[in-house]
Structure formats: structure tokens, C-alpha cells
Chains A and B, each alone.
Chain A
Amino acid sequence: MALRREKTERLADEELMPLVGRKDPEAFEVLYDRHGGVAYSLAYRIVGDRAAAEEVTQEAFISVWRSGGRFDAARGSVRSWLLSVVRNRAIDFLRSRAGKAPKLNFNDDAALEARPAPERTEEEALRRETAGEVRGALGKLPGEQSKVIELAYFGGFSHSEIASILGLPMGTVKGRMRLGLEKIRGELAEELA
């Protein structure tokens, strides 16, 4: 058993996926051990609550387990695909929680958190934007660019919502998103050079 696990651990993610598609729990376990930490961290950054982040991470991995055969290597790495599943689940979680908000109490953080996206206040959006420590290439961007990227990627806000929150024209928001991603890409290219 240990020998088989050792062999499985030597496989690349792309080699594990066909095994996951054939319902091999050991291959899936290796996948979780490799990416479960970053997946949970991403979920936590988006939903801001440990129990909810665990729920989202579990749902995302179960979805990957059940749809392992759908992974298309031509469209990117397993890690990117898996993290995009986690991000989508986390944003869905935020939106579904927003849909069940029974009341609005501006002094109640939980109720505020549960409000649907169009009704979220600027204060709440900015709290979410600054809640986590900004690291890596994103942290090197000018604040105006990192802010719009964080609100979109981690907050699940649309460009029109961000424009409304920040009081900016929609074209400016899209332009800052573009500039920000281009700068991150430039940083990555320099790191590899």
C-alpha cells in the first residue's frame, strides 16, 4: 500500500487526473495533499469564515472528484482548473448566502455580509478588499489597480458594481484591471528571465 502511494506521489497532476476519472481515491488524495492548502486559503480569502471556507473547499474537491474526466489539459494546468472551481464555488456561496438574507442591519457584520452584491456598501466592499494580506505580484501594483482586481477576483463584484462602489467610470475600472494584469504578467516574465 505504501509503495503504491509512493508511486502515485511521483505522478504529475496531469497524470493523476485520468486515475481520478477512473475513481482512484489514492490519486485524488495526492491531488488534495498537493493543492488542498492553497484551495482552502483561496476559499477563506473569499468567504472570510473558516467553516464556510471548509464547506466550499469540500464541495469543490467533491465536484472535481465527480467530474475528473472532464478536465481538459489543453485549457491549462490541473492546479489552475482546480482553483478556478474553488473560486467559482466560493463566489456562488457568497451569492447564495446573499439571496437568503432575512433582514438588513447595518451594525451587524453577518447581515451586511449576506446582502446581495448590488446592495453592498462601499465600506463593506473596501473591508473585503483590505481584509487579507496582499502578497506577491498583486501587492506590487499601484493601489488603484490592485483594488479593482481584488474586488473582482476575491469579492466577486462585477465591473459595473466596482465602478459604482469606487465612483469611477466603467471604462476606468476595466482599464485598471487590464493594466494591473499586464503588470503582474510583466513581473512574472521578469522572474522567469
Chain B
Amino acid sequence: MSSTDHTSWSEDLAAYMLGALDPSEAAGFERHLEGCDHCQAELRWLEPALHSLPEAAGRQQPSPRLRETLMAEVRADARRAHGGEPAKERRGFFSGWLLKPAAGLAVLALLVAGILGYEVGRDGGEGGGPTTIERQLDNGIAVTMVQDGNRGTLQLSNLPEVRSDKVLEAWVEREGEVEAVPALLVPDRNGQAETTIADMSGVATVMVTEEPRGGSETPTGEPIMSMEVPQ
């Protein structure tokens, strides 16, 4: 890495910390950051400044109703988690998936058959560069998956409108276990959404489901999109 290269990346550091880089720029910066001790040290030094910004928001008092509603949901969730309530209405198609991965994956395979569609394009990868897979699903959703090293970017278009009490959440299946992708998918006015999968190692399937607002710990809705990732 030349000092000029480093300087250009270093100029992006504050914008990256403030979430002001575009997704592709942020991905490029993160790749640089992984191997740059200098930027890592600068980031650690500046982090307290970033973390002080919420204090500049001024003080507002939430209504007591917020606490009541939140704690009612949390207590109900805890009762279900500890087996105190069957909560049938909340158990979705994928409940128990993590407990019975083999059975869950078989069910997933059946579901996926209905939405898989066909591959419309694939390029790259031979020289160690990014690999792009494009799929057109039977339900109309177009999927583009860009994999660059361990990092993946999932881009969806032609998404259906999402109800205000629902969100789209992406999941990866790795070694028989399903993990949530931290950032929820927020479709724009054109029905397009994008999320980043920080670690693609060992990922066999990428899937998107509709979940209650705030997201879920495990998938509860039926997948609107699912795609096997070539190993």
C-alpha cells in the first residue's frame, strides 16, 4: 500500500464513521480497514467523539406509555421463551428451525422450489475478483448477489409493498444453522432494497422473509426470496 493510497482512504474515515459513505464506498473502506493498522488506530481514537454525538440531541422525555408497551411485549416474549405460553399465533413456518435444522432445511428446500426462478446472469470470480449472480424469481423479484471476498451485497428489485407493521429481514444458512443479517432491508419507492452480508464464508443459502416490525431472532414468515450460494 502506498502512502498516497492510504491518504485517500484516511480521508474517508470520518465519513465512514458518520455513516455518510455510499454502501459500495463503505465496503471498500472496510476492506482497507481490515489490513490497515494506522486507520484502525485512528478509528479507535475518534470513536469517543462519534459516541458523544447523541448527547448533542438535546433531552426529550418519552411517554410512560412507551415503557409500558415495550415491557408488556418483552414480558410476553420472555414467557414464550421460557415455555410459559404456547403462543401459537406467533409461531411461524420456520419455528423450531434452529432446533431441527435437518427437518427445517428440507422444508425450506420445498418452499424454495416455488420461488427460485432462474439464473439470468453470472460473471467474475475467476481471477479472485467480485462474483455477481443474477436471478429472476417466479414471484417477479429480481435478485443480484455480489460477492467480493468474504463480503456479500444482496440487491433486490421489484419488491412488493411492505405493510407498515412489517419489515423485510435477510437470513443466511451456514452449516445447517440460520443467522439473521443485522441490517433490515428497507425498500425504496421503486421497490428496491439492498443489504450487506459481512461474512459469506460457509453460507449455503441466502433468504429474505417478511417479519414483524423490529425484526425477529429466527424467521417466522415464509420466504419471499431464497437463493443457494455456489461454493
Residues of A near any B CB (own CB < 8 A): 23-25, 28-29, 32, 36-38, 40-42, 44-45, 50, 53-55, 57-63, 65-67, 70, 76-77, 79-80, 83, 87-88, 91-92, 95-96, 98-101, 116, 132-139, 149, 152-154, 156-160, 162, 171, 173-175, 177-178, 180-182, 184-185, 188
Contact among B51, B189, B214 with A99 in the assembled complex (CB-CB below 8 Å): B189
Q: What are 30 sample pairs from A and B whose C-beta atoms fall under 8 A apart?
A: A28-B74, A29-B74, A32-B70, A38-B54, A38-B57, A40-B61, A41-B58, A44-B57, A58-B214, A59-B214, A61-B70, A66-B216, A80-B47, A87-B54, A92-B184, A98-B188, A116-B189, A135-B57, A138-B56, A149-B53, A153-B18, A153-B19, A153-B53, A154-B53, A171-B11, A174-B11, A174-B15, A182-B49, A184-B52, A188-B48
Query: Do the beta carbons of B60 and A25 come within 8 Å of each other?
Result: no
Query: Do the beta carbons of A184 and B67 come within 8 Å of each other?
Result: no
Query: Do the beta carbons of A185 and B49 come within 8 Å of each other?
Result: yes
| B81 touches A (CB below 8 Å) | yes
Q: A25-B71, A152-B18, A152-B20 are in contact. List 10 more A-B contacts (CB 8 A).
A: A44-B57, A50-B63, A88-B19, A135-B57, A158-B22, A159-B21, A174-B14, A184-B52, A184-B53, A185-B45
Contact among A57, A92, A162 with B62 in the assembled complex (CB-CB below 8 Å): A57
Contact among B15, B19, B63 with A54 in the assembled complex (CB-CB below 8 Å): B63
For B188, the closest partner residue in chain A by CB is A99
Query: Do the beta carbons of B66 and A54 come within 8 Å of each other?
Result: yes
| B69 touches A (CB below 8 Å) | yes
A99 to B190, CA, bound (A): 8
A7 to B70, CA, bound (A): 22
Query: Do the beta carbons of A162 and B20 come within 8 Å of each other?
Result: yes
Query: Do the beta carbons of A136 and B56 come within 8 Å of each other?
Result: yes
Contact among A62, A80, A133, A149 with B214 in the assembled complex (CB-CB below 8 Å): A62
| B187 touches A (CB below 8 Å) | yes
Q: Which 7 A-B pairs give the minimum distances between C-beta atoms?
A: A45-B57, A40-B62, A177-B14, A184-B49, A62-B214, A178-B14, A152-B20
Query: Count the A-B residue pairs with Cβ separation under 8 angstroms: how many?
Result: 184
Residues of B near any A CB (own CB < 8 A): 11-15, 17-22, 45-63, 65-67, 69-71, 73-75, 77-78, 81-82, 180, 182-184, 186-189, 213-217
Query: Do the beta carbons of A63 and B215 come within 8 Å of each other?
Result: yes
